[in-house]
Amino acid sequence: MGSIPITRSIFAVAGVTDWLSALIGGVLIGLAATLLLWSIGRIAGISGIVNGVVGAARGDRAWRVAFLLGMIGIGALTLQFVPAPARMQTGATPLLLFAGFLVGFGTRMGNGCTSGHGVCGLGRMSWRSLAAVLTFMAAGVATVYVMRHLLAPGP
């Protein structure tokens, strides 16, 4: 199973290399998280923002909706100028839906997602976020090992 070279297809138009596209993306994510924290004192954890749209008090919902619409809007705007990457589904739909449910369950159990803990929490030097990120990474490494070496079809 291969991966989709998203950065290559998006930044190839501008002649940007893979490492530079990762650097640009990381800087933009960091700037967005910093701007949100400085402007309204909120952490840019996507699972918390989405959860707050559904369950937040009325006065706390507008910024969350604006944040999510901005994420969707910039993606749509980008697709107007840059060709979309090829789509590839690497698993059965029920399996992918179950995996999505597990991710949602994990973000509730871990009190946040990779964006909240990995980008914002580590930047604030939170020990809880460090523990969460190490857990995310260990689970990712274990999952890749199991999928590629234990469950993968033979040669």
Alpha-carbon distance of 83 to 10, in angstroms, equals 7
Please report the pLDDT score of residue 141 as a whole number. Answer: 93
- Mean pLDDT for the chain overall: 79
In SS3 terms, the chain reads as CCCCCHHHHHHHHHCCCHHHHHHHHHHHHHHHHHHHHHHHCCCCCHHHHHHHHHHCCHHHCHHHHHHHHHHHHHHHHHHHHCCCCCCCCCCCHHHHHHHHHHHHHHHHHCCCCHHHHHHHHHHCCCHHHHHHHHHHHHHHHHHHHHHHHHCCCCC
pLDDT tier, 5 (very low <50, low <70, confident <90, very high otherwise): very low
pLDDT tier, 77 (very low <50, low <70, confident <90, very high otherwise): confident
Alpha-carbon distance of 73 to 10, in angstroms, equals 16
Q: Is 16's pLDDT higher than 70?
A: no
Alpha-carbon distance of 108 to 19, in angstroms, equals 32
Q: How far is CA 116 from the centre of its chain?
A: 10
Please report the pLDDT score of residue 12 as a whole number. Answer: 57
Encode pLDDT of 121-142 as tens digits. 888 888 998 998 898 899 889 9
Please report the pLDDT score of residue 109 as a whole number. Answer: 79
Please report the pLDDT score of residue 17 as a whole number. Answer: 65
